[in-house]
Amino acid sequence: MSEAKVTILGCGSAKPTKTTSPSGQLVELCDKSFLVDCGEGVVLTMQKLGIHTSRLYNIFISHLHGDHCFGLIGLLTTLGMLKRTQPMHIYAQPDLQKLLQPLLDYHANDRLYDIIFHPINPRKHAVIFEDRTVSVETIPLKHGVPTCGFLFKETHRVQREDGSFDYETRKRYAYCSDTQYSEKIVPIIEGVDTLYHESTFLNEHGARSKEVKHSTAAEAAKIASLAHVGKLILGHYSARVEDHSLFLKEAKPIFDNTVLAEENLVFEI
């Protein structure tokens, strides 16, 4: 079985910059791919990285700000041109289908595959996906619009000494973007192997961060520390911070095992 990993397809915030595109990640667990958020350019980056979509069946959208969903229509029409026949499942708030369906009807009506929308309630912590080896739970977040993160769990079947089988959780990955500082998420993400937590601002932007309901790098690190996670990945950088190493500088004193998301990087979970 291939290793658990996450590929950063975009790690900027709403305003694109010279070095960052809007949010998107490919999470790979148990030989399956899961797309988390799909900002503009995600399908372009996937093509540039040579990422195949044949093992991608499930897309999770954290909230409906454009930098997290404008790339969906391009991805879904591209899959149509690639003659995909396997269904695609999209987990998002109900408004997404209302916004996307007219575009799909106009631009992708000749596709050979079904798109199945699964409405989710971002305010509730719940299991929204489960198969024999992977489950996904929502993580309610605090942002300007209803938003949730996603907790991915790898589950493996283990044979007991008496010959019967049990299931054990192995790798766990939590995606938390976008959110203001919220300790309410700590019990849900307690002890995960890897946490991606948004880090839009630096300490000097504290007031702005609160106003627009985002987090600073230090706040992301504090959450990582309280939740005893293995590794923290920062991302969703504001366009006003060109030098991303400043985020690391403010996070590391609080949580040492912190790394910076940058586009095209792959992290072991």
Q: Min. distance of Cβ 172 from its own copies in angstroms?
A: 32
Q: Which is nearer to its own copies, 106 or 165 (CB)?
A: 106
Element (H, E) at 243: none
Active site residues: 67
Between 101 and 169, whose beta carbon lies closer to its own copies?
101
> Which lies closer to its own copies via its Cβ, residue 40 or residue 178?
40
Helix then strand then coil, in percent of the chain rounded to 5, is 25, 35, 40
Question: Is there a contact between 247 and 11 (Cβ–Cβ < 8 Å)?
Answer: no
| Residue 264 CB, nearest approach to its own copies (Å) | 12
Instruction: Give yes or no for a contact between 139 and 159, defined as CB atoms under 8 angstroms apart.
Output: no
The set of residues, in sequence order, having a beta carbon less than 8 Å from that of 18 and lying 6+ positions away, is none
Q: Taking the CA atoms of 226, 218, 61 and 49 in sequence, report the sign of the dihedral they define.
A: negative
Q: Given phi > 0 = left and psi -120 to 50 = alpha, else beta, which region is 264?
A: left
For its own copies, the binding residues (CB under 8 A) are 14-18, 21-22, 40-41, 43-44, 47-48, 50, 64-66, 70-71, 73-74, 77-78, 81-82, 95, 99, 102-103, 106-108
Q: Which tokens sit at 239? A: 């366009």
C-alpha to C-alpha distance for 254 and 14, rounded to whole angstroms:
27
Please give the structure tokens belonging to residue 261: 């998301």
Minimum CB distance to its own copies, residue 232 (Å) = 27
Q: Which is nearer to its own copies, 99 or 127 (CB)?
A: 99
Q: Which is nearer to its own copies, 57 or 70 (CB)?
A: 70
What is the nearest approach in angstroms of its own copies to the Cβ of residue 48? 5
Smallest distance, its own copies to C-beta of residue 115, A = 15
Helix axes of 94-107 and 72-81: crossing angle, nearest 10 degrees: 40
Could you tell me the smallest distance in angstroms from the CB atom of residue 145 to its own copies? 10
Residue linked to tokens 């708030």: 93
Residue-wise burial string across 75-104, b where 16 or more C-beta atoms lie within 10 A, e elsewhere: bbbbbbeeebeeebebbbbeebeeebeeeb
For the beta carbon of residue 12, count every other beta carbon within 10 angstroms: 24
Nearer to its own copies among residue 32 and residue 240 (C-beta): 240
